[in-house]
Amino acid sequence: MNIWIPALALLIILLAVMLLRTLRLQKKPQGISPIAKTQASGGIAEHLSEIVRIESVSKTNPSPEDLKAFLRVHDWIAWTYPQLSATLKMEIINSYSLIYEWTGTESSLDPVLFNAHMDVVPADEDTLDKWKVDPFSGEIRDNAVWGRGTLDMKNQLVALLESVEALVAEGFTPRRTIYLAFGHDEEIMGFHGSKHIADALKNRGIRLAAVLDEGGMITEKMLQGVDDPVGLVGISEKGYVTLALSATGKPGHSSMPPRQTAIGTISRAIALMDDNPMPARLDYLLPTLLSIGYLLPFGLQFVLANTWLFKPILIKQISKSNQLNALIRTTHAATMMESGVKDNVLPSRAEAKVNCRVLPGDSIEDVIGHFTKVIDDPRVIIEVDADSGGWEASSVSEIDTPAFRTLNLVIRQVFDRVAVAPFVFLAATDSRHYQPICSHIYKFSPLQTSSEAREGVHGINEHIQINGLQKMVVFFQRLMRVWGEAEF
């Protein structure tokens, strides 16, 4: 009896501590005053419609005619935004990308850069009959602009241009220099566009105080039980590498096969990879969830506040969701396989490609080492695919900085006190090219949209609501004023 009393007391103390840790997550952020509302402008919608009609599709091997589309974008900007064109210094980089310099009044302040890209992906010809409009018509209907690029990301391009045009018209001049950078090949990795822009700035000795590029949006129903929208700001992005797996076999007649052909060897290797993924880590998802702790159900709050105990359970549950699982580990996906010449001939070689998205903290070398150990078969050669190459995960930008705090504030002001959370962006953006000259890179597209509408990105019936487009302009105007004036 004497033994159980101290044990019970310790258990009560432990539960009390765990509950106190949970209660801390229920603290709401300090309230802020929203900025004045503005009405949607039909002119903005028409401008987005016009640039959608310019088929600036990026291609790996573009023809001269393909590239002329970007020159038409240049001409369109000059014609559509005369005050911006007269005030900002424009420079063409590597023939087709653009950078605009809005010179500030205080050269001692490092510049900030707002990024967008002019290129879009093509519309799959096999899906054209499923589109409500021609993908490059820019049709305006149902209070929305329709067409390729309306979400990715001519919307952000137009919103930035509209914002600067309006601020110039008002007579605003920033204290710090503001750059607008528009690459022409983001959809094919940005090596000819934004990479050249970043190199040009670096060669001039320019260090950027902050960069804002496309990324997370105002996301609805982020988690089960969370109905409130959340503004997700990317503070890093995953790395990218495609692994080429190959195995050889002895060709011959299929009527006398060995125990396993080259195809079987590669198939077994892929199955082993699927059964043994890269280890999960909560390093980056946990800060995301803790930032919105006050919105979460009590049970999840209790688990998050006490991960020292519940970490295995949490990882197991998170891994059941494809989207959340991608936030806690380096993922892999077998995407291509090639082998054989005829159905009755043993293949002399089998090849497969496995695309991996590398979580910050892992490296390409780690990925190769992990799967080499998992497959444990000298017959299987694992190499970085020569055609796709790869790059490491980007560095992680801090959130305890004036740049992020003011970004957080503006998001909450414009989007009705929405919760804001940092996260690792799963896709690739042009902003990674600016890492050599900037430590504070944030990936956020100021748009509140449904998950169904987001399926239009690179998909079918891409469109944006006009009031959402207008709100993007309100956001950028506000952030340009704040970042343009703040000392950091």
Q: What is the mean pLDDT of residues 165-173?
A: 96
Length of the chain: 488
pTM: 0.94
| Angle (CA) 400 402 408, round 5° | 80
pLDDT in tens, 338-360: 999 999 999 999 999 999 999 99
The radius of gyration of the chain from alpha carbons, rounded to an integer in Å, stands at 26
Residue 27 in tokens? 């603290």
What is the structure's pLDDT at 42?
56
pLDDT in tens, 276-318: 999 999 999 999 999 999 999 999 999 999 999 999 999 999 9
Cβ atoms of 114 and 476 within 8 Å: the answer is yes
pLDDT in tens, 431-474: 999 999 999 999 999 999 888 888 899 999 999 999 999 999 99
Long-range contacts of 2-9 (CB under 8 A, 24+ apart): none
Residue-range domains of the chain with CATH: 42-236+394-485 (3.40.630.10), 239-391 (3.30.70.360)
Contact partners, residue 184, CB within 8 Å, separation at least 6? 56, 58, 70, 96, 97, 117, 118, 119, 192, 193
Q: Which of 15-29, 157-171, 175-189, 383-397 comes out lowest in average pLDDT?
A: 15-29
pLDDT band at 1; cut points 50, 70, 90: low
The dihedral region occupied by 230, where left means phi > 0, alpha psi between -120 and 50, and beta the remainder, is beta
The answer to whether residue 40 scores a pLDDT higher than 50 is no
User: Cα–Cα distance between 193 and 319 in angstroms, integer?
Assistant: 36
What is the structure's pLDDT at 8?
82
User: Cα–Cα distance between 436 and 17 in angstroms, integer?
Assistant: 44
DSSP H helices, 322-394, are 322-325, 364-375
- Coil, strand or helix at 190: coil
Q: What is the mean pLDDT of residues 410-434?
A: 96
The answer to whether residue 416 scores a pLDDT higher than 60 is yes
What is the structure's pLDDT at 41?
52
pLDDT in tens, 126-157: 999 999 999 999 999 999 999 999 999 999 99
- Mind telling me the catalytic residues? 119, 186
User: Cα–Cα distance between 109 and 89 in angstroms, integer?
Assistant: 18
CA distances from 119 to 185, 255, 295, 443, 470 (A): 6, 52, 37, 18, 22
